[in-house]
């Protein structure tokens, strides 16, 4: 059985960085491959320790969303322990073969964690355009939408909490504004889209209200 390694430069954001790559989860045959990533929507650092090993993944600051990790798809759950602000929570999720799952870890006012799993089976590709998804992971943001500021164009609308929408878009630099119930919320987010690449924007809660996170939908090398 192969094991996947996580590059620390890419995936581990920690003050105490290690000097070598570490294995996190085993992978299976190519036909069983599934893909799993984590997004930190807590107010501090989030650490995941894989079940049965000392391997860990740390997300904080500007690196709040990991790359997609290839894992064994099927009925066997992927397990681990989540830690943030002195609180711990068990983690367990099943990912179907061919599925891309995003686990958004959230925390309430007392720091207790919960996990929101958003799933997708990609079926689109266009070498001339970028693929952009919008994930609403904020229960306080009703009918979430995303507007391109300069173009005054509605990219996404009425995205319910715990769901995503995806569309093809021209590969340009964008500034987007989150809208909740048609009203602008928080600060615009600026990013650059490249042709043939896949990306996600996530609406998540924060101590100052709803905010946006941007991530490339890249696979870990």
Mean of per-residue pLDDT scores for the chain:
87
| Residue 14: band (very low, low, confident or very high) from pLDDT cuts 50, 70, 90 | very low
What percent of the chain lies above the pLDDT cut of 70?
87
CATH code (residue 170): 2.60.40.1120
Residue 125 lies in a domain: no
What residue numbers bound the domain in which 12 lies?
3-120
Q: What is the pLDDT of residue 3?
A: 36
Cβ burial 97-131 (10 Å sphere, 16+ → b, else e): eebbbbbbbbbeeeeebeebebebeeeeeeeebbb
With tokens 């609180």, the residue in question is: 87
Per-residue model confidence (pLDDT) at position 176: 98
Output the pLDDT for position 28: 67
Average of per-residue pLDDT across 71-88? 93
Q: Same domain for 110 and 145?
A: no
Residues 111 and 134 in one domain: no
Average pLDDT, integer, range 212-217:
97
Looking at the structure, tell me whether residues 106 and 165 fall in a common domain. Answer: no
Domains in the chain, number: 2
In this structure, are 109 and 168 located in the same domain?
Answer: no
Distance CA 48, CA 58 (A): 6
In a domain, 221, yes or no: no
Task: Read off the pTM.
Answer: 0.86
Task: Tell me the helix, strand and coil percentages in the chain, rounded to 5.
Answer: 5, 55, 40
Instruction: Report the alpha-carbon distance of residue 98 to residue 38 in Å, rounded.
Output: 17
Most confident of 32-36, 108-112, 125-129, 147-151: 147-151
Q: What phi and psi, each to the nearest 5 degrees, are found at residue 10?
A: -85, -45
Quick one: 14 and 106 in the same domain? yes
Same domain? 95 vs 180: no
Asked if 37 and 144 sit in the same domain, the reply is no
């Amino acid at each position: 059985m192969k094991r996947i390694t996580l590059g620390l430069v890419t995936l581990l954001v920690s003050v105490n960085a290690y000097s070598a790559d570490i294995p996190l989860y085993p992978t299976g045959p190519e036909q069983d491959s599934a893909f799993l990533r984590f997004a930190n929507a807590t107010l501090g650092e989030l650490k995941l320790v894989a079940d049965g090993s000392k391997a860990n993944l740390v997300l904080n600051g500007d690196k709040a969303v990991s790359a997609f990790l290839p894992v064994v798809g099927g009925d066997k759950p992927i397990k681990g322990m989540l830690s943030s602000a002195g609180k711990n929570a068990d983690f367990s999720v099943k990912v179907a073969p061919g599925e891309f799952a995003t686990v958004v870890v959230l925390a309430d006012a007392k720091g207790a964690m919960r996990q929101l799993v958003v799933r997708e089976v990609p079926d689109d590709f266009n070498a001339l355009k970028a693929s952009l998804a919008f994930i609403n992971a904020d229960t306080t943001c009703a009918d979430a939408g995303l507007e391109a500021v300069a173009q005054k164009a509605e990219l996404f609308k009425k995205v319910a909490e715990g769901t995503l929408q995806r569309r093809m878009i021209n590969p340009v630099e964008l500034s987007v504004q989150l809208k909740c119930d048609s009203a602008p919320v928080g600060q615009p987010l600026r990013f650059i889209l490249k042709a043939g690449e896949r990306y996600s924007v996530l609406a998540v809660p924060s101590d100052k209200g709803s905010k946006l996170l941007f991530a490339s939908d890249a696979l870990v090398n």
